[in-house]
Structure 1
């Protein structure tokens, strides 16, 4: 019996109990990808080894990206409850190890363990949602799930700074212990074990080749594209990616249970949704981390006030995610939301490129609101589209694939946007006056908001102008990516989600076809 079929016998209250537990697990997994950012200076001051600073975040990201494909497929084979429980146990144990770390090296190793669980929290949570709810009903609940994803991304940096400065950086990790144990207890009680009815046949070669390709891609994005490496590494890592992907395709063609069934990519809805997810990941999730720096350098806002401007972002994401989910649930149509998301994102980033030191705060707040609205309009609708287009037996693999696409997009975005900003700042440094150069304590890339505040007013204005122009380059790049996503969204098939899966005569439940019908039916 598949998880989907068996879950139909659960009461609504029991489904909602499972759903809330999943949201908490999802929130923890996403939060820990972001919460460490603002705590890193405190961690480095305590543990030393400043040169390993970047690896505390990169280790979690790399581990999460590497295991995401495994969790989706293992959920299809063994049942998603078992897989989710393994993921959250790994995450809790990794969190404990992070809190007890005695050196930067031990913290990085613990972050790898934590990431091995974190990848499963995100992938398995969305897979379980696909089991609990029918496609149109699912859109409504995935709206809240996507809102949790975005809010965790926004809250993470703020929470990391507050916790590390008040009770100690260790507690940004240790706080996961009671929450994670609570989620485990709830799921043990509320969620039954379902037999998938499939003989497990794990595609280890395919999984490891895909993990190698993803890890090399993320590593290249974090280190090479972002400026960490030059020379041979810039060419070697893409070659590793190409070789791993070539081997992966060859293995998947012959595997009995491929890690990512290649036939998924033949479906236009799935392939376009994956492209949009990568592109939007670069332009949205890869952009959010730079807004705080932008607000503090260009507008001169103090950190606390800049943080408050992220509140409209949370509200926009919540409204868009929940609202679009409700509308998809009512109508069964989702295509309009990615189209609107991509168009809105392009307009908002062009608006950000016009922000300067004297721009009213309410204008910035409106832009922040609509930027996260653009995120909320597409995240859950694309997940719904992919899960509805995939055969039920491959829902986990499809869910893992789109989660991975977003993660790769975010990683590429963090690196690409950082590289663009650095290059633009260095070009801008060549145009400033000799007097300003003499007043600066270091190169333009070292000019933090605090450093800018120490400059004479004329020099500070000149430096801020360089930052304004540099961020404009980043925003135009993001707007161009949104334009690409807009074209891909227009090409999505205009299908209507069924209220319930249709079972063709003689077909096994685990082999169902997608719960969609062509437009107009």
Structure 2
């Protein structure tokens, strides 16, 4: 069947075609999700090969920062020009970025390549969830977005183990190059499976608003790195907050006058959406922004090699999958979702506080149980918050609202990498300052720059002392995350206990926002 690009209504899809499109979109999500997971356990190996441990956090933060900057554009571009072409551009950029990462020769060049990767990654998640919103009505959507978590679970199962194994056995470059065949396959499948559709709307792009928003986010992340990294006397600590406030003020003024605002300010007046966006920022800091440091902590504290440390992430993948699927199906059946973020936030407080007691003697099974509990709190709230935003936004702004939520998560993740890295680095620096001079003289590098491999090569007594210092410093990151979950819990209590509408029989037969016709 041939679809007209300038149709005034979305193309109608049969249920079978909707499932094919859905699976193709999941493949694109898998590519981006796998990249976030597979790099975590390989980062210490990459650092050993390329050096510049102080730039460790920016391998992830650079990617997430650019992702956050371009996410609003992708959401609005999908609303204006259609999801397919925007999604295809995102996949192509992400694949090219993966090739550049595999060819990096220094930590700086790797970070630059990750920036290119982020230009595409910002569109994969936003466009994917917007397409799912087009395909399915609210209650049905909750079920399918719950199933979408299987993608994150599969990448979670494969990623940490594969990242460590590939880095050890073949070289760290291949954790990026593995994206190439996946990306090419996704592009080929979507080219044939997904219909093209461009809504008849004004194609005015709010470039100025997007740049101002990106500038404010960038300044905020750099401020977090400067403030929490211990450089309290630097001028940036005072300049960057002014830049953030000025950019956000100008952004609001631009959005009020824009014909097609990159972020319609009207959706922020919706209490449900506003609360959800704030909660997503907090959870981005406490979960996504902590992923790389969890991997580093597991290797440093347990002494396990990257591939074996990756096995400790397996329970978290299972817990996230179970929580997302169960909560999605219950939401689809009852139409209610508030209870899940409330439980998830409370469980997050308990899990991160319990993590602060881990040391070199902690049994692996106990770490596995804590990882399982922590992942349940993620599975209960991440997809549920997406349902809350999409069901509360006007139909014409679903893409922009989805982009706003994805942006909130990416802002949180970027802030988390900077803030958690700053907290850890500052605590390690203070721990080194408290050590006797003769002990510091025995270290091959300053305490904040020690890698897991370097610690294992130290004399046993000195190595154990460094592990203890690292565990104590990492507790600062865990307490910070637990506090954010506590704030998230209070915000979750303020959500309205709404009930999603039931899809009528006629709509159910014909399809949802992208209704369907026989092929």
TM class by smaller structure: 0.7 to 0.9
More displaced 10-residue stretch of structure 1: 25-34 or 426-435: 426-435
State the partner residue of 1:408. 411
Question: Within the alignment, does 1:202 sit opposite 2:205 as a pair?
Answer: yes
Aligned partner of 1:506 in structure 2 is none
* Structure 1 position 485 matched with structure 2 position 499: no
Of residues 272, 293, 296, the one that matches 1:293 is 296
Residue pair 1:342, 1:483 contacting (<8 A) in 2 also: yes
Distance 1:465 1:288, change over 3 A: same
Matched, 1:66 2:69: yes
Displacement after TM superposition at 1:305 (Å): 3.2
Q: In the TM superposition, what are the counterparts of 1:412-491 in structure 2 within 5 Å?
A: 412-432=415-435, 436-437=439-440, 439-491=442-494
* C-alpha contact 1:3 1:79 (8 A) present in aligned 2: no
Q: Give the deviation of 1:57 after TM superposition.
A: 4.0
Deviations 1:28-76 (A, max 9, x none): 1233345445555666777788887765544433321211000001111
How far 1:16 sits from its partner (Å)? Answer: 1.4
2:373 matches 1:370: yes
Does residue 96 (structure 1) correspond to residue 99 (structure 2)? The answer is yes
* 1: CA distance, partners of 2:156 / 2:249: 33
Compared CA separation, residues 466 and 499, structure 1 to 2 (3 A):
same
**Residue range with higher mean Cα deviation, 163-172 or 98-107:** 98-107
1:232 alignment counterpart: 235
Residue 278 of structure 1 deviates from its aligned partner by 0.8
Bigger mean CA offset, 151-160 vs 56-65: 151-160
The residue number in structure 1 matching 2:251 is 248
- Cα offset for 1:104? 6.2
Of stretches 73-82 and 369-378 in structure 1, the one that deviates more from structure 2 is: 73-82
CA distance in 1, matches of 2:452, 2:55: 23
* Aligned residues between the structures: 504
SS for the counterpart of 1:355 is coil
Partner of 1:118: 121
Which of 180, 184, 187 is the equivalent residue of 2:183? 180
Aligned-pair CA distance for 1:181: 2.2
Aligned counterpart for 1:307 among listed residues 284, 289, 310:
310
Given that 1:436 and 1:462 are in contact with CA atoms closer than 8 Å, whether structure 2 keeps it comes out as: no
Taking the aligned partners of 2:420 and 2:52, their CA distance within structure 1 comes to: 26
Q: Extract unaligned runs of 5+ from structure 2.
A: 507-511, 514-519
2:160 and 2:310 in contact (8 A); partners too: no
Q: Deviations 1:320-345 (Å, cap 9, x if unpaired)?
A: 11111111111110000000000000
Q: Give TM-score scaled by structure 2 length.
A: 0.88
Larger deviation, residues 258-267 vs 136-145: 136-145
Query: Post-superposition shift, 1:440?
Result: 3.6
SS at 1:6's partner residue? coil
Match for residue 517 of structure 2? Answer: none
Contact 1:286-1:409 at 8 Å conserved across structures: yes
**Would the aligned equivalents of 1:350 and 1:479 in 2 still touch at CA under 8 Å?**
yes
| C-alpha separation in 2, matches of 1:313 and 1:222 | 28
Q: Compute the displacement of 1:267 (Å).
A: 0.6
What is the distance in 1 between the residues matched to 2:505 and 2:248?
35
Alignment pair present for 1:193 and 2:196? yes
Give the TM-score taking structure 1 as reference length: 0.87
> Aligned pair 1:320/2:323, yes or no?
yes
State the SS of the aligned residue for 1:497.
coil
Identify the range of structure 1 (153-162 vs 344-353) with the bigger mean alpha-carbon deviation: 153-162
**Is the Cα contact below 8 Å between 2:423 and 2:476 reproduced in 1?**
yes
Q: Match of 2:358, SS?
A: coil
Using a 3 Å threshold, how does the CA distance of structure 1 residues 155 and 328 change in structure 2: closer, same or farther?
same
Q: What residue number does 2:130 align with?
A: 127
**Could you say if the C-alpha distance between residues 57 and 306 of structure 1 is closer, same or farther in structure 2, counting changes exceeding 3 Å?**
closer
SS in 1 for 2:499: strand
Mean CA deviation greater in 395-404 or 217-226? 217-226
Mapped to 1, the partners of 2:61 and 2:204 lie a distance apart of 31
Deviations 1:163-182 (A, max 9, x none): 34434444333332322222
Kindly tell me: are residues 119 and 247 of structure 1, through their superposed partners in 2, closer, same or farther at Cα, counting changes over 3 Å? same
> Does the 8 Å contact 1:335/1:494 carry over to 2?
yes
Q: How far 1:246 sits from its partner (Å)?
A: 0.7
Residues 1:90 and 1:391: Cα distance change in structure 2 (over 3 Å):
same
Distance in structure 2 (CA, Å) of the matches to 1:2 and 1:392 = 19
**Aligned counterpart, 1:6:** 10
Task: State how far apart, in whole Å, the 2-side matches of 1:52 and 1:473 are.
Answer: 20
Q: Structure 1, residues 261-287: CA drift from partner, whole Å, max 9, x if none?
A: 111111111011011111111111122
Please give the alpha-carbon distance, in whole angstroms, between the structure 2 residues aligned to 1:153 and 1:222: 27
Q: Distance in 1 between matches of 2:253 and 2:15?
A: 44
CA contact (8 A) 2:72 2:407 kept: yes
- In 2: Cα distance, 1:87 partner to 1:425 partner: 39
Residue 157 of structure 1 deviates from its aligned partner by 4.7
Higher-RCO chain (CA-CA 8 Å, sequence separation at least 6)? 2
Question: Is the 8 Å Cα contact of residues 137 and 499 (structure 1) preserved in structure 2?
Answer: no
- Per the alignment, residue 364 of structure 2 pairs with 361
1:203-218 equivalences in 2 (<5 Å): 203-218=206-221
